[in-house]
Structure 1
Amino acid sequence: MITVSAHSPNQRLGGELPGLILSALLAGNQPLTWQDSSAETAYKELITHTMPSAEDDETEMGTVVLKFKTAGQADKGPFSKWNMTALGENADNEYFVLSALESRRAFAALVTDYGDRSQAGSWNHPESWAKALDKIRDVTIFGVEDRFDASLSDLAFETVEPIDVVLWPTSLLATAAANRVAAQRLGELRELVDTAAIADDGITILDEDPRPDTLLMRVNATRGLLDELLRHPYVERIRGPLTPYLSPNHLLADGKRFDPLPADGAAIGVIDDTVLTANPWMRNVLRASASFPADYAFA
Structure 2
Amino acid sequence: MSSPQRDEQPLDVDLVDLASPTEERNPASAELDALDARGMVDVILGEDATVAAAVQARAGEIAALVETCVEAIAAGGTVHYLGAGTSGRLAVLDAVELAPTFNADPSMVTAHLAGGDGAFLTAVEGAEDSREAGAELVRSRCRAGDVVIGLAASGRTPFVAGALEEARAAGMPTALISANPRAALAPLADHPILLDVGPEVVTGSTRMKAGTAQKLTLNALSTATMVRLGTTFGNLMIDVRPTNAKLVARTVRMLVQASGQSPQRAAEVLQAAEGSVRTALVALLSGAEVPAAREALERFPRDPHRRGDPAGIRSAVDALRAPGTAP
Provide TM-score, normalisation by structure 2.
0.26
TM-score (structure 1 length as normaliser) = 0.28
Larger Rg: 1
| Higher helix proportion (structure 1 or 2) | 2
